[in-house]
Structure 1
Amino acid sequence: MSLSASQAAKKVGKSVPTITRAIKKGKLSAKPRDSGGWVIEASELFRVWPAVSSDSDVTPAMLGDETPSETSVLEREVELLREMLEETRVDRDSWKDQAQKITALIEDQSARKKGFWARLVGK
């Protein structure tokens, strides 16, 4: 049974980019189509990934203790990212202040380089 990349993705519960990456890396064998895309044999697909049940009446099992730990890990990661963002903002503001001071110094020095008559006349 031959499948396209999108059909294969549905059969194993993966995304199409995941399927095509596996093909390009040599993890999954497939033949290129003349019109683009891939032809994947079902046996080859299921060698790499198990088939996902297609029963629509079946509800997924609830995760036991895994969900709270995943949530706490993700919350910690979000907290760390917010801290990094704040540090980046502080650094940005510091660099911005330095750039403004240097620009002001350069403008002040260029104004001082004018000759006496240029400053007197205002040019």
Structure 2
Amino acid sequence: MVYTLGEAAKATGKSKATISKAIKSGRISAEKDESGTFRIDPSELHRVYPPTPSTKQEETPNSTPANTQNYSEIKALQRLLEATQERLADKEDVISDLREDRDRWRTQATGLLSDLRTAQEKAALAAPTQKKGFWRRLFG
């Protein structure tokens, strides 16, 4: 078995340019065939660059009934999630509006209360209090 430049790159996880530089610098020995492509011996290649572990995944058909069912469930759940997020955003807006109203009412009530206090204080200062004598207090 002999690797081409592309196969050697896949087997080691390196780029074709890296392997080509290693061949040209003499780190890896390779032969050129009549078409001009490199023929690299696997033992020579793996002496310099260790092989990468093969990570072939099992192929699963895309249109199995389970995948179709899962896909439809995922879509339904996504729609439900979007609707829930929309309702949550609406409720957060309502809460924000209610808080603003509460703060506005609180400010207004505080202002009215302070106005009432100052009016009462002015009335108390403006009205002179007459001292009633003993007989007037007693008989009215």
Same fold (TM over 0.5): no
- TM bucket, shorter chain: 0.3 to 0.5
Query: What's the TM-score, normalizing by structure 2?
Result: 0.40
Query: What's the TM-score, normalizing by structure 1?
Result: 0.45
Structure exhibiting the larger radius of gyration computed from Cα positions: 2
With a CA cutoff of 8 Å and minimum separation of 6, indicate the structure with the bigger relative contact order.
1
